[in-house]
A and B are shown apart, each in its own frame.
Chain A
């Protein structure tokens, strides 16, 4: 794939966001593509490593955001929402790019379980050309995504988008077929060259306390399963969920949506120790769920066999010094909560009945499996997903699915097991505080969730997606880490210190020759614009490449046929709020309108040469459309650009082009509102007063 600045595929140093992602999504690249209006290209990047972008756009726990370097400046880029924006705006394209395997290979694989791990492995193997059959005991595909995660967070159609894409690879599926019951494991073995166990953790743990057999006691996963399948478990007016993790939160919030007036959660942990994500806890509390911390359940109380309450004792410690789960209790402090139902969400375990009649070894309820080769005790039988790793996230399950496909393909080709060495990931490191302190702050685009009073009414999705304007705005908060300046050749660097002096972030250094450490560089391009040796290159949007492109576009007779006056317009792409000006212009359009747009992520990186050379290529006028006044993403760029333009104007006078041919404008409102007016005026003979005013405000006109 032709990337602006390859990191993942080239095995280079990763931005921290990509490094944190279990499948190493090339986050920076897709975010940059969004910012350039290339949503389809962004989807290509997502699908490169993740067959579940629609799911992840909704429910991924987004480790990328947790590691986003922008946090040192203000807040992380809203990456999950950007991902969601991409999938929601590329549906047709996604169908059109669906892939089938190039050639069929010898080898059949059975996959037990259609969760994210199983389906990922299935897709990979199918694309390699193997015959893949997925066996799923439920009627729906998707594992926990289909029948545990509540619909207000993950709507069924989002999951369907991913699944349809995966099925298009030609996988055979057998839903409603439980291995071990509807078909034996040995039969699977007989008909396939390899078997992959991806059964997840489908069963909830119960509690070894009195009263769990009472009517009104539910186990977490079956409870969610019923809801996902359109059933409405009967809860009384008051419900208590035991557990402090994300699953418990989902259950409590689902219970609320079933109409229960009072929902409690109780857990051993203190508030700050709760394993649930903070945002999940906040949202639950907004919905009126009361959390009781540091209580251990002692007994479920019942009257006539029906739950009437639950008794707790104080939990004084959950983890020991080595962070192992080892709770301690104070029996002298107890409490009782009167409730009509209790739901247990204290953890899950695998159901391994499917292999009970087979030689595959299960040890104390756990499937024996080597993590690096993913091999079970039986040759040709592999495992992936949560049954192997224990509880985790959807994207972690996807990562294991990819690995499983690799080891199985290797096995099918060679008969050998393959040990996958953990990938040594090298990141560019955190953004140093002193660099961050010089960067400008830009507020993260947040969406408002449905009002809590309304959202508890049903299972409708509670989070709106980004509008195009919001997505573009948010994408431009990305620092495009590690795509900054570098010295193209040490031989040309005179060590003149210009880069050191102009760098607004204190990044560039001269150590015999110039160095711009990727860890700090903010990619503004100011050093490259001023380098007297023209020796500094930018890995993202290099202006020398832009000049070549301009030359190419205007080569031959094209320039002659363009409607006059011909205006070349450098535009700050950060100001666009739609794709209107981000699309590539056609030759005919340039010819007819007499306007050639060159979109630049900050016009501050234009060198004096960039401000002169278009006239060599036939331009009559050159417009630099900068951001709103004081709106530049980069500290210090506006002042430098203004001085560079003043210099270029002087030079244009000297060479007989005339300084009025080059004009700087600030965008007013949005690009879509502001730019057409500027262009119209530049193309008409008499300059419009307003435009002159805008130009004067930009300090770009000396008349």
Chain B
């Protein structure tokens, strides 16, 4: 899942301070799950904006809404309709960056602003905590590392064993909160009886499958409409 954190309130306020009719729109998928951009956050942010801007003597109309996903045309159409029908002059989206872009591509002359900072692909690591687990590199190597990703979970993205900063299983970057992923990989492969595989060096990574190869697309030809 994509993880995001709410943006500092002041930033969002600054974005929209000169607009008169603003729609705050949440997303019902990842950011709802990580408690940063669902309907509850929309309501809270909208209320905060009304209060804060009211104090500055501006009383913009702040409207609210949430759609199931902001990364699909069908779900986003109602937002576009609202923008048109309700004469909205700015949109704040609490979706991840994908949603911001998706809306920007479709909103014509109406600006869209991000309400969250999109951070990583991660998973719940307990109540109220999420941790990064995948970097979306486009060529998964976890088959060789016991299912544990050294790119996402190593502070230095090292592919062939730890650096000198690995101490007692912890990463020198933040020993209190980050495990050394190479310790995890070692332990895991040992458990799997595959420790010897560590001797096979991983070749230098071809980052073209990651963002270095240009903007990526994913195709399922069987479902594409014939040209």
Question: Which range holds the interface residue count of chain A?
Answer: 20 to 34
- The answer to whether B48 touches A654 (Cβ under 8 A) is yes
Answer whether residue B93 sits at the interface, using C-beta atoms and an 8 A cutoff.
no
Q: A494-B38, A612-B44, A654-B8 are in contact. Are A533 and B32 (CB under 8 A)?
A: yes
A491 to B28, CA, bound (A): 9
A597-640: which have CB < 8 Å to B?
607-609, 612-613, 615-616
Q: A491-B68, A492-B28, A654-B9 are in contact. Are A532 and B41 (CB under 8 A)?
A: yes
A109 to B195, CA, bound (A): 94
- The answer to whether A534 touches B68 (Cβ under 8 A) is no
Closest-CB distance, A656 to chain B (whole angstroms):
5
Contact of A494 among B33, B44, B55 (CB under 8 A): B33
Answer whether residue B211 sits at the interface, using C-beta atoms and an 8 A cutoff.
no
Answer whether residue B109 sits at the interface, using C-beta atoms and an 8 A cutoff.
no
- The answer to whether A532 touches B38 (Cβ under 8 A) is yes
Q: Which residues of B contact A609 (CB under 8 A)?
A: 40, 43-44, 47
Answer whether residue B166 sits at the interface, using C-beta atoms and an 8 A cutoff.
no
- The answer to whether A533 touches B47 (Cβ under 8 A) is no
- The answer to whether A534 touches B48 (Cβ under 8 A) is no
Q: Which residues of A contact B41 (CB under 8 A)?
A: 532
Against A, the Cβ 8 Å flags (1 = close, 0 = not) of B17-60 are 00000000000110011110011110110011111101100000
- Decide if the interface of chain B is mainly helix, strand, loop or mixed: helix
A654 to B29, CA, bound (A): 27
A532 to B43, CA, bound (A): 10
- The answer to whether A532 touches B51 (Cβ under 8 A) is no
Closest-CB distance, A292 to chain B (whole angstroms):
63
Answer whether residue A651 sits at the interface, using C-beta atoms and an 8 A cutoff.
yes
A612 to B68, CA, bound (A): 26
- The answer to whether A656 touches B33 (Cβ under 8 A) is no
Q: A492-B28, A496-B32, A656-B52 are in contact. Are A534 and B39 (CB under 8 A)?
A: yes
Answer whether residue B66 sits at the interface, using C-beta atoms and an 8 A cutoff.
yes
Q: Output the nearest chain B residue to A608 by Cβ-Cβ distance.
A: B44
Q: Which residues of A contact B33 (CB under 8 A)?
A: 494-497, 532
Q: Which residues of B contact A491 (CB under 8 A)?
A: 68
Answer whether residue B218 sits at the interface, using C-beta atoms and an 8 A cutoff.
no
Q: Which residues of B contact A655 (CB under 8 A)?
A: 9, 13, 48-49, 51-52
Q: Which residues of A contact B32 (CB under 8 A)?
A: 494, 496, 532-533
Answer whether residue B124 sits at the interface, using C-beta atoms and an 8 A cutoff.
yes
Answer whether residue A700 sits at the interface, using C-beta atoms and an 8 A cutoff.
no
Answer whether residue A501 sits at the interface, using C-beta atoms and an 8 A cutoff.
yes
Q: Which residues of B contact A531 (CB under 8 A)?
A: 40
- The answer to whether A534 touches B52 (Cβ under 8 A) is no
Q: Which residues of A contact B8 (CB under 8 A)?
A: 654
Closest-CB distance, B69 to chain A (whole angstroms):
10
Closest-CB distance, B25 to chain A (whole angstroms):
14
Closest-CB distance, A131 to chain B (whole angstroms):
60
Answer whether residue A5 sits at the interface, using C-beta atoms and an 8 A cutoff.
no
A408-459: which have CB < 8 Å to B?
none
- The answer to whether A651 touches B39 (Cβ under 8 A) is no
On chain B, the number of residues with a Cβ less than 8 Å from chain A's Cβ atoms is 28
A607 to B43, CA, bound (A): 11
Answer whether residue A160 sits at the interface, using C-beta atoms and an 8 A cutoff.
no
Q: Which residues of A contact B55 (CB under 8 A)?
A: 656-657
- The answer to whether A492 touches B44 (Cβ under 8 A) is no
Contact of A657 among B35, B38, B39, B51 (CB under 8 A): B51
Closest-CB distance, B70 to chain A (whole angstroms):
13
Contact of A532 among B39, B50, B52 (CB under 8 A): B39
A423 to B32, CA, bound (A): 44
Closest-CB distance, A570 to chain B (whole angstroms):
16
Q: Which residues of B contact A501 (CB under 8 A)?
A: 127
A531 to B39, CA, bound (A): 9
Contact of B35 among A495, A532, A616 (CB under 8 A): A532
Q: Output the nearest chain B residue to A495 by Cβ-Cβ distance.
A: B33
Q: Which residues of B contact A495 (CB under 8 A)?
A: 33
Closest-CB distance, A617 to chain B (whole angstroms):
10
A654 to B50, CA, bound (A): 13
A616 to B48, CA, bound (A): 8
Q: Which residues of A contact B124 (CB under 8 A)?
A: 497
Answer whether residue A498 sits at the interface, using C-beta atoms and an 8 A cutoff.
yes
Answer whether residue B214 sits at the interface, using C-beta atoms and an 8 A cutoff.
no
Answer whether residue B10 sits at the interface, using C-beta atoms and an 8 A cutoff.
yes
- Decide if the interface of chain A is mainly helix, strand, loop or mixed: loop
- The answer to whether A612 touches B48 (Cβ under 8 A) is yes
A502 to B35, CA, bound (A): 13
A607 to B42, CA, bound (A): 13
Q: Output the nearest chain A residue to B31 by Cβ-Cβ distance.
A: A532
A532-590: which have CB < 8 Å to B?
532-535
A131 to B40, CA, bound (A): 59
Closest-CB distance, A659 to chain B (whole angstroms):
13
A608 to B29, CA, bound (A): 21
Q: Output the nearest chain B residue to A494 by Cβ-Cβ distance.
A: B32
Against B, the Cβ 8 Å flags (1 = close, 0 = not) of A649-686 are 00100111100000000000000000000000000000
A679 to B168, CA, bound (A): 55
A644 to B54, CA, bound (A): 24
A501 to B126, CA, bound (A): 9
Contact of B40 among A532, A615, A651, A657 (CB under 8 A): A532
A657 to B50, CA, bound (A): 12
Q: Which residues of B contact A502 (CB under 8 A)?
A: 127
A498 to B51, CA, bound (A): 28
A496 to B3, CA, bound (A): 13
Q: Output the nearest chain A residue to B126 by Cβ-Cβ distance.
A: A501
- The answer to whether B40 touches A607 (Cβ under 8 A) is yes
Contact of A533 among B10, B40, B44, B50 (CB under 8 A): B40
Closest-CB distance, B49 to chain A (whole angstroms):
8
Q: Output the nearest chain A residue to B39 by Cβ-Cβ distance.
A: A534
Q: Which residues of A contact B47 (CB under 8 A)?
A: 609, 612-613, 616
Closest-CB distance, B116 to chain A (whole angstroms):
12
Q: A494-B32, A501-B127 are in contact. Are A534 and B40 (CB under 8 A)?
A: yes
Closest-CB distance, B64 to chain A (whole angstroms):
10
A612 to B46, CA, bound (A): 11
- The answer to whether B38 touches A534 (Cβ under 8 A) is yes
B117-146: which have CB < 8 Å to A?
124, 127
Q: Output the nearest chain A residue to B9 by Cβ-Cβ distance.
A: A654
Closest-CB distance, A606 to chain B (whole angstroms):
13
Q: Which residues of B contact A492 (CB under 8 A)?
A: 28, 39, 66
Q: Which residues of A contact B40 (CB under 8 A)?
A: 531-534, 607-609
Closest-CB distance, B226 to chain A (whole angstroms):
33
Closest-CB distance, A499 to chain B (whole angstroms):
12
A497 to B32, CA, bound (A): 11
Q: Output the nearest chain A residue to B54 by Cβ-Cβ distance.
A: A616
Contact of B28 among A494, A498, A607, A613 (CB under 8 A): A494
Q: Output the nearest chain B residue to A611 by Cβ-Cβ distance.
A: B44
A495 to B127, CA, bound (A): 14
A283 to B104, CA, bound (A): 79
A656 to B44, CA, bound (A): 14
Q: Which residues of A contact B48 (CB under 8 A)?
A: 612, 651, 654-655
Closest-CB distance, A485 to chain B (whole angstroms):
15
B81-101: which have CB < 8 Å to A?
none
Q: Output the nearest chain A residue to B37 by Cβ-Cβ distance.
A: A532
Q: Which residues of A contact B44 (CB under 8 A)?
A: 608-609, 612, 651
Closest-CB distance, B206 to chain A (whole angstroms):
36
23 intermolecular pairs with C-beta atoms under 8 Å apart: A492-B66, A495-B33, A497-B124, A502-B127, A532-B32, A532-B35, A532-B39, A535-B39, A607-B40, A609-B43, A609-B47, A612-B47, A613-B47, A616-B54, A651-B9, A651-B44, A651-B48, A654-B8, A654-B48, A655-B13, A655-B48, A655-B49, A657-B51
- Given A494-B29, A616-B51, 11 other A-B residues pairs in contact with their CB atoms under 8 A: A492-B66, A494-B33, A495-B33, A497-B124, A531-B40, A532-B32, A532-B40, A534-B38, A608-B44, A609-B44, A655-B51
Point out residues on B near A: beta carbons under 8 Å.
Answer: 8-10, 13, 28-29, 32-35, 38-41, 43-44, 47-52, 54-55, 66, 68, 124, 127
Closest 5 CB pairs of A and B: A532-B38, A654-B9, A496-B33, A494-B32, A534-B39
